[in-house]
């Protein structure tokens, strides 16, 4: 009588050996890589926890990045504001300490020349950038907070600059007669009357 051969590969014992071998392989991989599984299915009952933890880690990472950016912006803003304060103090000190003689070349005093120079510094400070963001521009992060010093003083295109505004205001205050919009009359031979040319006008002298 012949004995039938046993198919070891398909036997229960063979399957158990293969399972043990796979488990040993998985454990070796976990020990060497520090990773329990390459997919969520391999996490077993911890699959839901792993998914939730991954989402929380992503949120924490985004929050950390945001806080880093906020701290950088705050630090830059503090530095800029301190520079503004120092510049203002410098202008005041210069105006009080320098002679008021006019320069023969510019027609300005030294204090005026210093103030013009410091204006450029102030504009640069207000247009401080962190990365590609203007930190004093509010939500318009891609737009400078203020115009250039030259545009402020001299205007640009159809926009009047400070010099033109001051000149026009001066002309308006003087009036066509150059008397500050005052009307001088002689009601009698021994009296003089001075009055505003237009009552309530915002220009000229106020009596």
Quick one: average pLDDT of 82-106? 78
**pLDDT tens digits, residue range 57-74?**
788 888 888 888 889 889
**pLDDT tens digits, residue range 155-195?**
998 999 999 999 999 999 888 888 888 888 888 888 888 88
pTM of the predicted protein model: 0.58
Q: What is the mean pLDDT of the chain?
A: 80
Give, in order, the Cα–Cα distances in Å from 27 to each of 32, 33, 34, 48, 49. 9, 10, 10, 21, 21
């Amino acid at each position: 009588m012949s004995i039938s051969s046993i198919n070891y590969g398909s036997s229960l014992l063979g399957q158990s050996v293969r399972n043990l071998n796979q488990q040993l392989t998985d454990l070796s991989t976990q020990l060497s890589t520090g990773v329990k599984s390459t997919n969520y299915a391999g996490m077993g009952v911890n699959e839901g926890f792993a998914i939730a933890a991954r989402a929380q880690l992503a949120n924490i990472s985004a929050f950390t990045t945001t806080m880093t950016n906020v701290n950088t912006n705050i630090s830059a803003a503090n530095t800029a504001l301190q520079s503004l304060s120092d510049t203002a103090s410098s202008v005041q000190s210069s105006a009080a300490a320098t002679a008021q003689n006019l320069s023969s070349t510019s027609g300005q005093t030294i204090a005026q020349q210093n103030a013009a120079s410091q204006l450029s510094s102030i504009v640069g400070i207000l247009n401080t950038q962190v990365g590609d963001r203007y930190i004093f521009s509010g939500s318009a992060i891609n737009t400078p907070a203020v115009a250039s010093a030259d545009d402020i003083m001299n205007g640009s295109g159809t926009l009047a600059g400070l010099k033109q505004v001051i000149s026009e205001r001066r002309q308006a205050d003087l009036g066509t007669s150059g008397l500050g919009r005052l009307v001088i009359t002689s009601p009698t031979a021994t009296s003089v009357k001075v009055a505003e040319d237009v009552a309530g006008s915002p220009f000229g002298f106020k009596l």
